[in-house]
Amino acid sequence: MKTLKIGNTTVDTVLEWSGNLFDVGAFWPGRSWDAVEAERDWMEPHFIAPKDKSKPGVLAASIHTYVIRTPRHTILVDTCNGNHKTRKTIPPFNNLNTDYMEKMAALGVKPEEVDYVMCTHLHLDHVGWNTKLENGRWVPTFPKARYIFAKTEYDHWFANMNGHAMDGSFEDSVLPVVEAGRADLVENDFAIDDSIWLEPAPGHTPGSVCINLVSGGGSALFTGDCFHHPIQIANPDWSTQFCSDLAGSATARRKIIDKICDTDTYILAAHFMDPTAGRIVRNKDRWKLKI
């Protein structure tokens, strides 16, 4: 994604990993590839490969962090998988050793200059770079940042550390931040200031949140895993195998669509392939992502 300018604020992405990940019938149980093909006209080539290059039945995903820079703050949204972390449930994410921090440096972001790390939820692929391995211990990667965790989300996983899509991530990527005194457990409508605030979006997880950004008359909504792939914009009833509340997840998507459809607000999801940013617009009796 090219740098997105919203008023006097910029948004960049740091890519950790991308590749074929979503097996449609398994990731969205009971859903059909035919429904994906029905949206090919607007999803190709960014969100579905051309027919002669595609792997039928499988869609690609991106794992990335958003870097928000306002006149006052540097903010990270969702910190991917992290390096050197054992993740047996999702083999592509097991014991990664990526150049994520080098990419962060190339953007001019120094770890000690990050003011906030905001996690839309606490699944393993959203918290990994919260910590790094140092002398055999997991310590906060961004030593001066306040890490913003929705308390509802934190409390749920504190009681369910071995839950679905966690795989040790709470112990190595969340608890060390709390133990270091860098975490703020906040309400689901917490605001950093009048330009950046949380909005409850439960369903994918019990405490999932979106992050609102407004600046200079422009706006964006960071939706985390409310949407995994643009196919869910056309089919908001498609909840994934990783959603804790299938109906609640669908409701969250419909609320987002109703809120920002046919407006100038950008949707910035956690796993959309490049160019990542777009706007939701009506498409006959459905919706699509306009980039």
pLDDT tens-place string over residues 25-58: 999 999 999 999 999 999 999 999 998 766 779 9
79-106: pLDDT as tens digits: 999 999 999 999 999 999 999 999 999 9
Q: Can you name the residues that pair with 174 across neighbouring β-strands?
A: none
Cα angle at 180 between 174 and 185, to 5 degrees? 55
Q: What was the pLDDT predicted at 51? A: 85
For the sheet with 218-224, list strands across it. Answer: 191-193, 196-200, 209-215, 218-224, 266-269
Domain count, the chain: 1
Its domain, for residue 175, covers 4-290
Q: What whole-number distance in Å separates Cα of residue 97 and Cα of residue 16?
A: 10
> 39: buried, middle or exposed (CB in 10 Å: 19+, 13-18, 0-12)?
buried
Residue 226 belongs to a domain with what CATH number?
3.60.15.10
Q: For residue 230, what is the DSSP state? A: T
Positive or negative: CA dihedral 231, 283, 255, 5: positive
DSSP code for 140 = E
pLDDT of residue 53: 66
Q: How confident is the chain (291 residues) per 10-residue block, as mean pLDDT?
A: 97 97 96 96 96 81 98 98 96 97 98 98 98 97 98 98 94 98 98 98 98 98 98 98 97 98 98 97 98 96
Q: What is the pTM of this model?
A: 0.97
